[in-house]
Amino acid sequence: MGREDTREILDKYRVVAVVGLSRDLSKDSNRVAKYLQSQGYRIIPVNPTTDEVLDEKSYGSLLEISSDVARTIEIVDIFRPPADVPAIVNQAIRMKELYDKPYVVWMQLGIINEQAAKTAREAGLTVVMNKCMMQDHRRLFQST
């Protein structure tokens, strides 16, 4: 995934389901989502242990998101261990079958699962792996 591909994703898509979004302000998932929210992205938290994060309703899984919200999600941003990624990708694929979205599965910095990436690509999803949305956004948009 090149610089221009990443720029296009971050510029074009504005609704992000953040899987593993923590209420803990010191966690990377919270800091990244809060930053994205400050840049105009709509954040949909996915965390089965809380009802709300960043003033948004939290859902237990991607497939528990109400259909009216699910059909708006363009990026699934994953903050979960690599072993959890295949199940999340399968849920994203099911959403795509139901709503023709999301378009992108984004595995955050340090999260690598080649098999899940292959499965997502075969289902027509764009995959970004081992990259931070916040770092890429800052690098691509705040220097301009």
Residue 106 and residue 88 in contact, taking contact as beta carbons nearer than 8 Å = no
Structural domains in the chain, sorted by start: 3-138 (3.40.50.720)
pLDDT tens, residue by residue, 9-67 = 999 999 999 999 999 999 999 999 999 999 999 999 999 999 999 999 999 999 999 99
100: left (phi over 0), alpha (psi -120 to 50) or beta: left
DSSP per-residue codes, 79-110: -S-GGGHHHHHHHHHHHHHHHS---EEEEPTT
Q: What is the pLDDT of residues 65-103, one digit of tens each?
A: 999 999 999 999 999 999 999 999 999 999 999 999 999
Residue 93 and residue 119: Cα distance in Å, rounded? 9
40 — alpha (psi -120 to 50), left (phi > 0) or beta? left
